[in-house]
A and B are shown apart, each in its own frame.
Chain A
Amino acid sequence: MMGTIFGIPPQALFGQLLLGLINGSFYALLSLGLAVIFGMLNVINFAHGALYMMGAFVSWLLLTQLGVGYWWALLIAPIIVGLFGIALEKTLLSRLYKLDHLYGLLLTFGCALMIEGGFRHFYGVSGQPYPIPEALRGGQNLGFMFLPNYRGWVVVASLIVCLSTWLAIEKTKLGAYLRAATENPVLVQAFGINVPVMVSLTYAFGVALAGLAGVLAAPIYQVSPLMGSNLIIVVFAVVVIGGMGSILGAVLTGYGLGLLEGLTKVFYPEASNIVVFVIMAVVLMIKPAGLFGRER
């Protein structure tokens, strides 16, 4: 055995770091979706946490009602959440683009209350267990710690999704249209690109990311109507810390803060709930635009 690191047994340290990395994966996926949506629509999507919960619930319903397993849920749930997002954008959000951005926040807050309240009404507040898929049970002994396969998968999957989203936005033609439409929608529309459709699809993609995060989270946390509401507030803090200027910034900040939270759980567990908020306050004091942000 290695003994201890700063008086902490390495098993505990790495265990908490892994948990931090898992949390960080969800922060990254959610803040990525928020940043993509904000870039295009100038709306902070308060319903993001509720849609994350919806993703988890859809996969749970697919399994218990229809017998559809995890791997299909990984595809179907984000699509359903994305379609729901399109409906939301087309019927409600699109009416507010000319107004102050704060109305978008208020509208999506109302939507979040309705979605969460609806699920709560029908399924109660207690969590529903979701089994880990067959292929990902068990774990690896890495020598210094034990790594459950499923947790490793979540970290890898979210890294792949985040990186491919970044590549798609920065390196593809579609991404270039998107970035152009973010800067000047009128001009892009004049070039013959259907900007309203692009806006809808962007919103759908952003919330589908939240839905995907929900499916990934289902086997780790219990599926409950309240799983999204506290998470989204932490993700807001993450977004403030990172600044919404860059996609990569949102992702890096997500993982970094997850790890920091894990470390705090090891060394000073009482503060683990509030460490992200304290860091937010400190960052605002030193660099108000956020670590990767630009002043607007």
Chain B
Amino acid sequence: MSVPTQGAATVAVQAGGSSLARIVGLVALAVLLVAPYALYPVFLMKVLCFALFACAFNLLIGFGGLLSFGHAAFFGSAAYVTAHTVKVWGLSPELGILLGTVAAAGMGVLFGSIAIRRQGIYFSMITLALSQMVYFLALQLPFTHGEDGIQAVPRGVLLGVIDLNQPFAMYYFVLVVFLFGYAVIWRTVHSPFGQVLKAIRENEPRAISLGYRTDRYKLMAFTLSAALAGMAGGTKAIVFQLATLTDVQWQMSGEVVLMTLLGGMGTLSGPVVGAALVVALENYLAATNLPVPVVIGAIFVACVLLFRRGIAGEILARFGGGGR
């Protein structure tokens, strides 16, 4: 098969062609490692959870061209599953997050196989409607405890050794989870699979005519994206010891869209930048009298009208020499 070698060649070109990108990446990693000494760890962990969530979402829209407006369903459901299994079943945190991820992946297969039957705007509306169904289920099912949510989830002991009640231990665990998710996405985007996904985004009929079963690729991308969103949600439940209806609401789906749009759709680093900005902005707004939804909505409008490439996209377009 010629496809894998072709893909590998592209990876080599992209990796070798940008030593600048590698330096930026190493600096970013160093910053993340020392960050908890300078900033409030809970804030940083929130940023990392949402960054992973946004990266997972971006895998679909940025590389597959599929705008899901219902990703909160995966994020929130995984948070519920993790919180429930850790609190009620007494599982360890890593197992709880794993189960949350698996649950989100299962939902991803189910929702994906329904949603990919339509394209474009319809796809967005279908994912939104399905996630609203999940919201109503979360409101009514007994184990989610309705309006109260699942509170006081124990952070527990990681692998039976590391006590996650210590803020620094918790932070580095979240960092590892984030880096793992990011690496999976990086690997996916730079794999032959990722190339096919981009081909589908650019011209689906042509990809079909080349013999690719595009529906299968889309479903795989959808499932992977849902699973990673679930991993972010499960981790969030451990960090904040909480899983509530906020996590499954449509506003949450909108928020992750905004993070990705603001940071730059289709760039690997964009969603991370976007997530950090949105979380920081919300923290700041919470202390002021300004209405948060109005500001968020205004940023949405500004992004769509003024800089559709997002922050990272604009920087790459100006200095990166060649964009994506």
Contact = CB atoms under 8 A, between A and B. Distances in A.
Contact of B118 (A44, A109, A240): A240
A211 B125 CA distance: 22
Interface stretch (A19-27, A99-107, A170-178, A214-222): A99-107
Interface in B176-233: none
Interface in B106-153: 114-115, 117-118, 120-122, 124-126, 128-130, 132-133, 136-137, 139-140
Given A111-B297, A117-B292, A273-B136, A240 B124 contact: no
Contacts of A274: 133, 136-137
B130 A273 contact: no
Contacts, number: 118
Nearest to A281: B114
A120 interface: yes
B257 interface: yes
A69 interface: no
Contacts of B117: 284-285, 288
Given A110-B301, A113-B254, A277 B118 contact: no
B260 to A, nearest CB: 11
Interface string A107-146: 1011111111110110000000000000000000000000
B253 to A, nearest CB: 10
B17 interface: no
B121 A44 contact: yes
Contacts of B175: none
Contacts of A116: 293
Interface in B74-102: none
Assign chain B's interface to a size class.
35 or more
A103 B293 CA distance: 19
Contact of B305 (A95, A233, A239): A95
Given A121-B291, A236-B128, A284-B118, 7 more contacts: A102-B124, A106-B303, A106-B304, A110-B301, A112-B297, A233-B250, A280-B130
24 contacts: A44-B124, A101-B121, A102-B121, A103-B304, A105-B69, A105-B121, A106-B67, A106-B300, A107-B301, A107-B304, A110-B297, A117-B296, A120-B291, A233-B129, A233-B250, A234-B132, A240-B129, A277-B129, A278-B133, A280-B126, A280-B129, A284-B117, A284-B126, A285-B114
Interface of A: 44, 92, 95-96, 99, 101-103, 105-107, 109-118, 120-121, 229-230, 233-234, 236-237, 239-240, 270, 273-274, 276-278, 280-281, 284-285, 288
